[in-house]
């Protein structure tokens, strides 16, 4: 339930009344807060709303009456949902209602295990490989939503990101290690600079907690960042979850992930991704993530400590001296 001490209690209550009326529901909605962004709390909130036996996810942005961000996302979700109707066993959340002011919209609530949860719960190779394959299949359909184009790869931003972490001076990772890996990465980026690669309508945040796997169906959601970009980056965003799988070092390829899992993902994903570009982008992503772990959070957060260790193990292999 929402707390009356919530500074937005009255505004959210009015949203719930509007949605209940639109759905013809006359009882009291049951509400659970799922997410509030610590960085953008007014713009990024998600509630779980039960109207009787029907469950919905409600996205809230108190600034969207001015920015129209949610109206644009809702319209995009409607188009994507229709697009996915042409694919078997693949889908998105179904958009249900956009508020009159455009400050919230509701969609059906997907209550299935995420890809990340499935990977955490199973060490069975057959199960884990199917998670990667199904993620690849869903991403193939996403990248077919609009006509793909060709663009030129420019990975210099990865070096800039790493340099920013170094200059900030808060890294838990040893400076010498990060600088050595950054220098290797910089040379590899120069080698592939402006290589042609596919630009497609991309998810933009395709990590393992934004994809759900039901029996016979694969869904992805949270399409706030969807736009045209290098298709390569969606593949990297998903496959970096692989760092939490423990296998002998010889099973890790030069990108830093498990070769068999990469193979299974690309059995599902049908668009061409140049292996050399993927290697550079994945190594860069893992190094940025490692350099982004700060000493203060590492000292008090066990999940950060685990992530630090897993990233270091993969990076030591990927950037082997």
- The three state secondary structure string of 272-291 is CCCHHHHHHHHHHHHHHHHH
Span 206-248, pLDDT tens digits: 999 999 999 999 999 888 899 999 999 999 999 999 998 888 9
Res. 108 pLDDT band, cuts 50 70 90: very high
What are residue 90's DSSP bridge partners? 218
What are residue 108's DSSP bridge partners? 56
Decide if pLDDT at 1 tops 70: no
Rounded CA gap, 34 and 107, in Å? Answer: 14
Residue-level length of the chain: 321
pLDDT of residue 321: 56
Rounded CA gap, 104 and 4, in Å? Answer: 20
Rounded CA gap, 74 and 59, in Å? Answer: 10
pLDDT of residue 7: 80
Decide if pLDDT at 274 tops 70: yes
- Percent helix, strand and coil across the chain, each to the nearest 5: 50, 20, 30
Q: Would you state the structure tokens that stand for residue 108, as one six-digit string?
A: 């059906």
Span 33-82, pLDDT tens digits: 999 999 999 999 999 999 999 999 999 999 999 999 999 999 999 999 99
Rounded CA gap, 294 and 172, in Å? Answer: 5
Span 178-210, pLDDT tens digits: 999 999 999 999 999 999 999 999 999 999 999
Average pLDDT over residues 309-320: 95
Q: Which residues contact 63 (CB under 8 A, 6 or more apart)?
A: 42, 43, 69
Rounded CA gap, 46 and 34, in Å? Answer: 5
The strand pair at 90-92 and 217-220 is best described as parallel
263-290 burial code (b ≥16 CB/10 A, e <16): ebbbebbebebbeebbbbbbbbbbbbbb
Residue given tokens 């709390």 in the structure block: 41
Average pLDDT over residues 285-299: 97
Res. 112 pLDDT band, cuts 50 70 90: very high
- Please choose, from the candidates 234, 219, 232, the residue with its C-alpha nearest in 3D space to the C-alpha of residue 273: 232
Strands of the 30-36 sheet, one edge to the other: 30-36, 45-51, 54-60, 104-108, 95-98
Average pLDDT over residues 121-130: 83
Higher pLDDT, 129 or 158: 158
pLDDT of residue 122: 77
Rounded CA gap, 281 and 263, in Å? Answer: 17
**pLDDT averaged over the chain?**
94
Rounded CA gap, 241 and 248, in Å? Answer: 17
Rounded CA gap, 247 and 87, in Å? Answer: 34
Decide if pLDDT at 289 tops 60: yes
pLDDT of residue 280: 97
Question: Domains of the chain (ranges plus CATH)?
Answer: 9-108 (3.30.200.20), 115-318 (3.90.1200.10)
Rounded CA gap, 243 and 256, in Å? Answer: 8
Rounded CA gap, 128 and 241, in Å? Answer: 12
Q: What percent of the chain has pLDDT over 70?
A: 99
pLDDT of residue 26: 93
pLDDT of residue 18: 97
Residue given tokens 């199917």 in the structure block: 130
Q: What percent of the chain has pLDDT over 90?
A: 89
Span 6-35, pLDDT tens digits: 788 899 999 999 999 999 999 999 999 999
At 10, is the secondary structure helix, strand, or coil? helix
Decide if pLDDT at 250 tops 70: yes
């Amino acid at each position: 339930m929402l707390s009356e001490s919530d500074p937005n209690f009255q505004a959210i209550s009015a949203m719930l009344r509007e949605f209940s009326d639109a759905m013809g529901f006359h009882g009291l909605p049951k509400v659970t807060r799922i997410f509030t962004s610590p960085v953008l709390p007014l713009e990024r909130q998600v509630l779980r709303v039960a109207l009787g036996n029907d469950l919905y996810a409600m996205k809230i942005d108190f600034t969207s009456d001015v920015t129209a961000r949610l109206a644009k996302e809702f319209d995009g979700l409607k188009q994507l949902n229709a697009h996915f109707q042409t694919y078997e066993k693949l889908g998105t959340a179904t958009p249900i209602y956009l508020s009159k002011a455009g400050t919230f919209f509701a969609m059906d609530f997907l209550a299935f295990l995420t890809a990340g949860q499935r990977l955490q719960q199973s060490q069975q190779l057959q199960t884990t490989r199917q998670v990667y394959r199904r993620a690849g299949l869903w991403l193939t359909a996403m990248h077919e939503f609009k006509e793909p184009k060709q663009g030129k790869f420019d990975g210099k931003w990865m070096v800039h990101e790493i340099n920013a972490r170094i200059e900030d001076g808060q890294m838990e990772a040893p400076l010498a290690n990060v600088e050595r890996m950054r220098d290797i990465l910089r040379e590899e980026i120069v080698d592939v600079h402006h290589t042609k690669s596919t630009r497609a309508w991309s998810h933009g945040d395709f990590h393992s907690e934004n994809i759900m796997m039901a029996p016979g169906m694969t869904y992805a959601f949270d399409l706030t960042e969807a736009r045209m970009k290098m298709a390569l980056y969606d593949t990297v965003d998903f496959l970096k979850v692989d760092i939490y799988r423990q296998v002998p070092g010889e099973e890790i390829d030069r990108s830093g992930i498990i070769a068999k899992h990469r193979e299974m993902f690309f059995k599902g994903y049908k668009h061409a991704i140049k292996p050399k570009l993927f290697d550079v982008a994945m190594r860069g992503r893992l190094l940025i993530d490692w350099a982004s772990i700060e000493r203060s959070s590492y000292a008090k957060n066990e999940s950060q400590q685990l992530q630090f260790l897993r990233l270091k193990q993969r990076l030591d292999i990927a950037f082997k001296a």
